[in-house]
């Protein structure tokens, strides 16, 4: 390390971990730096094996999707394994993910590791632990472009949308265009299939829930609803709770990194410490730190993938250092996932506002069904919304007031009532966004910011 580069701090020093955890971190780090081609340039930044492992992590850069693309699938495979051979032996697959900016990353997919990561996440929620056996029936409601069988013209039969123990409820990727007949079919299939777990994209399940409540339909309640694919809005959760009796848990992860956090039965999110390490990078106090910040994920035990300090692109809020009532104490505990860095907006004075902050403020607006905030200039915000028929005018006024509590009196807020809001491809809703994207690096507390190569 050169004389002028400041010592970087690690937030992990304030968390509790099981006895073998630092060693697992060290193994993951050594495998990356000394046996994986993509990390060659990082080696000179490593303070060395004699240093505490969390300090070694802190001295390194962040891994971005740009590097994942540049290294290619083979670049992140530890020495001794070959992608072509793994594919030929059908041990692995290649899975492409499309990022928010449309940039595609091709990942080596090793199903046994993914399954282990998912099973480890179930241990962090009492309902999941009791219900999810790995052979349980599961219904999935998400964009078929994320998982399932896409079909935008005509419809598929239930058999065509069933894969082993999984039933994919929708072949259509835009809930704003779902017909009543399609949603009736989903309800009938839930009642016939009786899934143990319903895994859903929250905005998709919220749309179905509004239909169920509006038509007063009977719907089977699974043992657990797992929300994933996108960050659930307060509104989505409320609409789902009106239609289903089941407990709800939010599961957080990424195609690149597996399962990273799971919501416990007390409503906080616990780190899946068996299969990953998480570095927390707090924002500066001006932008909501030190309890709000970004996260970098390092994975353990995947023989086909070395992933260290991967910038997963989300903003989280720590739980404020009070122990979770569920009794789990290990690793990072979050109060919330606050949305993606691309969902950040700024106050007219230039302070960062997370999607979670906007969402909680709008959560109390009665009659609001869906919304989207677009910051069009430094103090201009455009609010599009879907409202219950009877509440059109009150929603516009109440939402404007709620948004003023977030953005302050200088904010100019325009509103636009619409019939429906469609998700962006491949099927994810965007609740808030700034027209001119924010560089998330400038929001960080310097002491924790990743080193530059
Ligand atoms: Zn808990």
How far apart, in whole angstroms, are the C-alpha atoms of residue 117 and residue 276?
9
| 335 Cα: distance to centroid of ligand 1 (angstroms) | 10
| 337 Cα: distance to centroid of ligand 1 (angstroms) | 14
Check: CB of residue 329 under 8 Å from CB of residue 323: yes
pLDDT at 4: 46
Check: CB of residue 371 under 8 Å from CB of residue 399: yes
- All residues with CB under 5 Å from ion ligand 1: 264, 266, 268, 324, 326, 328
Model confidence over 401-419: pLDDT tens digits?
A: 999 999 999 999 999 999 9
Rg from Cα positions in the chain: 22
How is residue 116 annotated by DSSP? Answer: H
pLDDT at 213: 97
Phi–psi pair at 201, nearest 5 degrees: -70, 120
| 334 Cα: distance to centroid of ligand 1 (angstroms) | 9
Residue ranges in the chain modelled with pLDDT below 70: 1-6, 98-102
| 268 Cα: distance to centroid of ligand 1 (angstroms) | 5
Instruction: Please state the pTM of the whole predicted model.
Output: 0.93
- DSSP lists the bridge partners of residue 141 as 200
Model confidence over 291-306: pLDDT tens digits?
A: 999 999 999 999 999 9
């Amino acid at each position: 390390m050169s004389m002028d580069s400041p010592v970087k701090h690690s937030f992990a020093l304030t968390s509790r971990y099981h006895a073998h955890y630092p060693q697992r971190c060290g193994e993951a780090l050594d495998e990356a730096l000394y046996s994986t081609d993509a990390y060659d340039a990082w080696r000179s930044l490593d303070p060395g094996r004699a240093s505490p492992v969390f300090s070694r992590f802190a001295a390194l850069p962040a891994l971005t999707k740009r590097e994942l693309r540049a290294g290619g699938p083979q670049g992140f495979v530890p020495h001794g394994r070959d992608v072509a051979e793994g594919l030929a032996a059908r041990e692995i697959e290649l899975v492409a993910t499309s990022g928010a900016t449309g940039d595609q990353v091709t990942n080596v997919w090793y199903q046994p590791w993914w399954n282990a990561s998912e099973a480890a996440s179930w241990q962090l929620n009492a309902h999941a632990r009791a219900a999810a056996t790995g052979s349980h029936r599961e219904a999935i409601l998400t964009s078929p472009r994320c998982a399932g069988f896409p079909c935008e013209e005509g419809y598929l039969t239930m058999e065509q949308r069933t894969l082993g123990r999984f039933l994919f409820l929708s072949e259509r990727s835009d809930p704003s265009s779902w017909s009543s007949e399609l949603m009736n079919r989903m309800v009938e299939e839930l009642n016939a299939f009786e899934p143990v777990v319903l895994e859903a994209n929250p905005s998709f399940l919220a749309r179905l829930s509004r239909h169920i409540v509006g038509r007063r339909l009977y719907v089977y309640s699974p043992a657990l609803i797992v929300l994933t694919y996108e960050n659930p809005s307060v509104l989505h959760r409320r609409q789902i709770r009106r239609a289903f009796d089941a407990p709800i848990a939010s599961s957080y992860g990424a195609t690149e990194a597996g399962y990273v956090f799971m919501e416990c039965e007390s409503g906080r999110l616990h780190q899946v410490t068996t299969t990953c390490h998480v570095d927390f990078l707090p924002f500066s106090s001006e932008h909501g730190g030190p309890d709000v910040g970004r996260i970098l994920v390092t994975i353990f035990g995947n023989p086909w993938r070395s992933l260290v300090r991967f910038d997963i692109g989300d903003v989280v809020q720590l739980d404020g250092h009070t122990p979770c009532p569920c009794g789990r104490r290990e690793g990072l505990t979050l109060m919330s996932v606050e949305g993606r860095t691309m969902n950040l907006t700024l106050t007219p004075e230039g302070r960062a506002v997370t999607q979670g902050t906007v969402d909680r403020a709008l959560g109390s607006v009665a009659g609001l069904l869906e919304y989207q905030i677009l910051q069009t200039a430094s103090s201009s915000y455009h609010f599009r919304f879907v409202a219950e028929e009877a509440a059109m005018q009150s929603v516009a006024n109440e939402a404007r007031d709620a948004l003023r509590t977030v953005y302050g009196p200088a904010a100019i807020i325009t509103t636009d009532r619409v019939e429906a809001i469609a998700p962006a491809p491949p099927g994810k809703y965007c609740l808030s966004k700034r027209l001119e994207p924010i560089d998330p690096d400038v929001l960080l507390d310097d002491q924790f910011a990743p080193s530059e190569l």
